[in-house]
Structure 1
Amino acid sequence: MKRSVLKLLVAAAAACAAVALADEQRPNIVLIFADDLGYGDLGCYGATKLKTPNIDKLASEGCRFTDAHSASAVCTPSRYALITGEYPHRKNLYAPVFLKTGLVVDTGKQTIASVLKEAGYETAIIGKWHLGFGEKKPDWNGELKPGPLELGFDYYFGVPVVNSHPPFVYVENHRVVGLVPEDPFVYGQKAKTQEIPEKMKLDHIGGADAAHALYDDYQVGTVLTEKAVEWIKGRGDKKFFLCLATTNIHHPFTPAPRFQGTSACGLYGDFVHALDWIVGEVFQTLESQGVADNTLIIVTSDNGGMFNHTGQETWKMGHELNGQYLGYKFDAWEGGHRVPFIARWPGQIKAGTTSDELICNVDMIATFAALTGQTLKAGQGRDSVNILPALKGNPVERDHLLLSPFRKTHLSVRKGKWMYISGRGGGGFSSPKPGNHGFGGPAAITFSGRENSDIENGKIKKDAPPAQLYDLDQDPAQTTNLYRQYPEVVQEMEALLETYQSDTSKKK
């Protein structure tokens, strides 16, 4: 009897030791989530007009994915998918939010941060938030609550909306940095210390000059990097998760002076150089702290590159923002959502590898749960797939992927080699004339020299099919719409898409 009890105690002790060892081997996680970084914007993805040695080094020491996607071709919906593991169309979220929007994520949802916090990680998000604050709308003069801290993050510092829109301040945890009661924000006013762009259909928010004075477009990347480095150094021996959501390379293109003129493709390339420096600073900090080799580092983007004025200028200089792929940010075409994705974790991810597995940023919550031995609660992270096998060179159990452009009329499905787009054109903004400040669309395709069988002289042909089907194995650049050639595939994809549309309509 005593011997049996002793055996049980020994077995229990061994099990506890095994669990402790597993906890020790769990990596820190650093997710660098760039803004508008296109598939063709990095050296390791074929860029020749700019240099990205720090990011390229991570690729050479880890795995580079060639079929990775953002769940949306738009910033806010893409961030929603990353944080929740849920397709943004389920929230009817297709467009970016701005300074009058409350938190778009239900605080009852599990998030990538809450899952890791439950596993004992310290968590932070530094950089662009862009998911709203407050119950109904933000109180810029008071507590910005709920926000990141109510979604599992222990710490937040960053840009609350987007670097091209007001209020042009930093927020730390629940409050605007530098705000004083005597100088509150007032809608409809311009700040004295900050040049604010034209309305762009939004209200200005002025006043709070002390808070505005701390915000310098050309130093945002440096400030965010310093905060990230400081936070990593403060973790000691504790496991941590950092999401560094950079404002690079979203417009306005404002690289710090030391980066200006360093690329062969203008301010666009210079801003990518600044991003590469940010990645290098973070990696050097991990090394100096002795944790680089037990940290899973991921570098990816919230959507494809944007064909605005600066994007057009860099195109003229010979730089292809999204590589060979058709379309730009906001589009259902590949250029809108196929993004760089690089992962480094020595001993677990084989160095110098490339994967063509179909993965998505919506997959992070399931992956982080698997990484820490957790099971997501019922109904949580419902669209997320564990991609740990892919990181280690094995197949992923994914049947299909749903992709959202700017317009809900173009909700799209990827299954195997087939990409189905439920409308004509890219589903993003239309560019009025080549050379103007357009953001994509048929005219931009003509301007950029891309070909598509449905487009002629910057317009969709009158006899073009009502939707689009592409064989990405044979035609990755999406030159030829096969909608009429494969009616049986179209029917299958439409039926698959209908399951999502029906599910959403039932909730309304």
Structure 2
Amino acid sequence: MRILNRFIYVSTIVLTLTIFDQVNAQEKKPNIVLIYVDDLGYGDIGVNGAIGVKTPNVDKLAKNGINFTDAHAAAATCTPSRYSLLTGQYAFRNKASIINGDAPLIIDTDMRTLPDMLKDAGYTTGVVGKWHLGLGDGNANWNDVVKPGPKEVGFDYSFLIPATGDRVPTVFLENQRVVGLDASDPITVSYIERLDGYPIGTERPELLKQHTDIQHLGSITNGISRIGYMKGGESALWVDEKIPFVLTDKANEFIDINKRNPFFLFFSLHDIHQPRIAHVNFVEASSMGPRGDVIAQMDWCVGEVMKKLKNLGISDDTMIIFTSDNGPILDDGYLDYARELVGDHKPGGPYRGSKYSVYEAGTRMPTIVTWPKEIEPGTNDALLSQVDIYASLAALVGQKLGKKDAPDSENHIGAWLGKSKKGRDIMLEEAYSYALRMGDYKYIKPKKNAAIPEWIIKKFVDPGFSSEAQLFDLKVDPSEKNNIAHLRPEVVQKMQKELNNILQDKN
């Protein structure tokens, strides 16, 4: 009897532990990896029709996940879209715009951000790659801890390009300290006055790997002239060709360290932003010159992260969100012959516009979501915005949002997981003007001054400016060629009212 009782006791414990483990497994939150590419257009990946470059790793993501056909960045430029992504708030509410490399942090540290919310849910949070949301308080000391920064807005770990590759300072920061800095060679940065540090692009063009427009003819480092002036920090300078490898190694290191507990990684690639300097491994990987080569390079980075997750045995428990910060641009200042070599490739796919443009290609992004344990592969045409990632992930991980949290973010987790094809009823698109989506209708707000600035003209961009209202039916006219505002005045009136309500809402 004593043996039987002991058997029953042990069996009960084993059964209880088994049930407990099953419940824990069901309740375990997924790791979340958000891969944010820079300037990648809807048509720049194989699964969306790319010509002249192959993206096998991204295509594999799409094969095993959901490829969204109508998902958007919140804005057609990088700083505003990144701001909206991390705060759940439209960029115009904070007058967020493209900022210099020495700009102060533009996110209010009192706001509850996306990484803050995920930390509250038990996640370890990290950001690796391009930041471009400002650092410091306006008088950043690059020779000490630069704060406020990622830590003050919810990231446990950071390894950053402070702004972009075309702006100084051209150094990495790890946990808000410059990596490899020699204290005897301190860094000074200015966007106002010239510094007697590195050679200047206007004076030493023979040093340049790529020629560029006047805007980028500041300090030269690694054969590339940048916006702004920099002095010192020679031991800390990055090598552009090595950036993808450095960032991918840091991303995988973060995954390795945090593999046993839920983590959120914001992997913010520099590719395919100019200057496009491909590593020798990817030179001539495409038929489109440097722009196509760095698309292939970007795809390699994605593949290395996928490989790391698989090798650690955690890919099934990881949600990957792959997307871009704004639409494509061929000529953004550096001469790399992207316009001449593009061939039949259509960076924006069938859509009109580009980076800086209010037309669809400015914000309609390549967007793929995978999570093998939960998501069935397929396509989804739900109307979605990156500003909604915040509220949607909050719902996924069981976090309640306060009244001031993510004020413009909507919960569409059903659509993001492929359980529903219902997305937004209306969606704001920000560029240097405003547009509103309502189903298949697209309304573009008229501008009092519709003259196109010279700097936009030089980039061969159609920003969508007009002194008259524009209305398109994207179902029959995805390229936004036929303005039907005069045919549907009642739709124009309704959408204009909806847009004005958003723009006038103080939130």
TM exceeding 0.5: yes
Write the letter of the residue equivalent to 1:100.
Answer: D
Give, in whole Å, the separation in 1 of the partners of 2:130 and 2:367. 19
Aligned pair 1:325/2:328, yes or no?
Answer: no
Call closer, same or farther: CA 1:412–1:209 in 2, change over 3 Å.
Answer: same
Residue 140 of structure 1 is matched in structure 2 by: 142
Residue 156 of structure 1 is matched in structure 2 by: 158
Which structure 2 segments of 5+ residues have no match? 1-16, 201-206, 209-215, 219-224
Give, in whole Å, the separation in 1 of the partners of 2:450 and 2:324. 19
Q: Scaled by the length of structure 1, what TM-score is found?
A: 0.86
CA contact (8 A) 2:272 2:291 kept: yes
Call closer, same or farther: CA 1:35–1:19 in 2, change over 3 Å.
Answer: same
CA contact (8 A) 1:330 1:428 kept: no
Residue 469 of structure 1 is matched in structure 2 by: 471
Residue 381 of structure 2 is matched in structure 1 by: 356
Shift of 1:189: 2.4
Shift of 1:494: 1.2
Shift of 1:314: 5.5
Shift of 1:413: 1.0
Of 442, 457, 461 in structure 2, the residue corresponding to residue 440 of structure 1 is 461
Give, in whole Å, the separation in 2 of the partners of 1:201 and 1:176. 18
Aligned pair 1:266/2:318, yes or no?
Answer: no
CA contact (8 A) 1:431 1:441 kept: no
Call closer, same or farther: CA 1:179–1:426 in 2, change over 3 Å.
Answer: farther
Call closer, same or farther: CA 1:21–1:347 in 2, change over 3 Å.
Answer: closer
Write the letter of the residue equivalent to 2:307.
Answer: Q
Write the letter of the residue equivalent to 2:175.
Answer: N
Call closer, same or farther: CA 1:428–1:245 in 2, change over 3 Å.
Answer: farther
- Cα RMSD between the aligned structures? 2.6
CA contact (8 A) 2:326 2:362 kept: yes
CA contact (8 A) 1:74 1:330 kept: yes
Taking every aligned residue pair, what percent have the same amino acid on both sides? 38
Give, in whole Å, the separation in 2 of the partners of 1:260 and 1:315. 14
Residue 20 of structure 1 is matched in structure 2 by: 24
Residue 457 of structure 1 is matched in structure 2 by: none
CA contact (8 A) 1:83 1:365 kept: yes
Q: Scaled by the length of structure 2, what TM-score is found?
A: 0.86
Call closer, same or farther: CA 1:170–1:427 in 2, change over 3 Å.
Answer: farther
Aligned pair 1:189/2:195, yes or no?
Answer: yes
Residue 309 of structure 2 is matched in structure 1 by: 286
1:374-453 to structure 2, matched below 5 A, reads 374-390=399-415, 391-405=417-431, 407=432, 410-423=433-446, 437-441=458-462
Tell me the number of residue pairs that the alignment of Structure 1 and Structure 2 aligns: 464
1:160-175 to structure 2, matched below 5 A, reads 160-175=162-177
Aligned pair 1:204/2:204, yes or no?
Answer: no
Write the letter of the residue equivalent to 1:499.
Answer: N
Shift of 1:355: 0.5
Shift of 1:183: 1.2
Give, in whole Å, the separation in 2 of the partners of 1:469 and 1:190. 52
C-alpha distance after superposition, 1:388-420 (max 9, x if no partner): 211223133522111110x2xx11111111111
Any idea what SS the aligned residue of 2:379 has? Answer: strand
Any idea what SS the aligned residue of 1:81 has? Answer: helix
Residue 447 of structure 1 is matched in structure 2 by: none
Call closer, same or farther: CA 1:348–1:467 in 2, change over 3 Å.
Answer: same
Residue 338 of structure 1 is matched in structure 2 by: 364
Of 257, 260, 267 in structure 2, the residue corresponding to residue 234 of structure 1 is 257
C-alpha distance after superposition, 1:210-236 (max 9, x if no partner): 222xx0011111100011111111114
Aligned pair 1:80/2:77, yes or no?
Answer: no
Call closer, same or farther: CA 1:161–1:431 in 2, change over 3 Å.
Answer: closer
Give, in whole Å, the separation in 1 of the partners of 2:279 and 2:87. 33
Write the letter of the residue equivalent to 2:461.
Answer: G
Of 319, 328, 338 in structure 2, the residue corresponding to residue 296 of structure 1 is 319
Residue 129 of structure 1 is matched in structure 2 by: 131
Write the letter of the residue equivalent to 1:103.
Answer: L
Write the letter of the residue equivalent to 1:382.
Answer: P
Residue 64 of structure 1 is matched in structure 2 by: 67
Give, in whole Å, the separation in 2 of the partners of 1:239 and 1:322. 35
Write the letter of the residue equivalent to 1:298.
Answer: I
Give, in whole Å, the separation in 2 of the partners of 1:330 and 1:400. 21
Shift of 1:262: 1.2
Any idea what SS the aligned residue of 1:40 has? Answer: helix
Shift of 1:310: 4.2
CA contact (8 A) 2:166 2:226 kept: no
Any idea what SS the aligned residue of 1:210 has? Answer: helix
Which structure 1 segments of 5+ residues have no match? 1-12, 443-453, 455-459
Give, in whole Å, the separation in 1 of the partners of 2:261 and 2:339. 46
Aligned pair 1:47/2:38, yes or no?
Answer: no
C-alpha distance after superposition, 1:84-131 (max 9, x if no partner): 1111111112x2111231110011112121111111111100000000
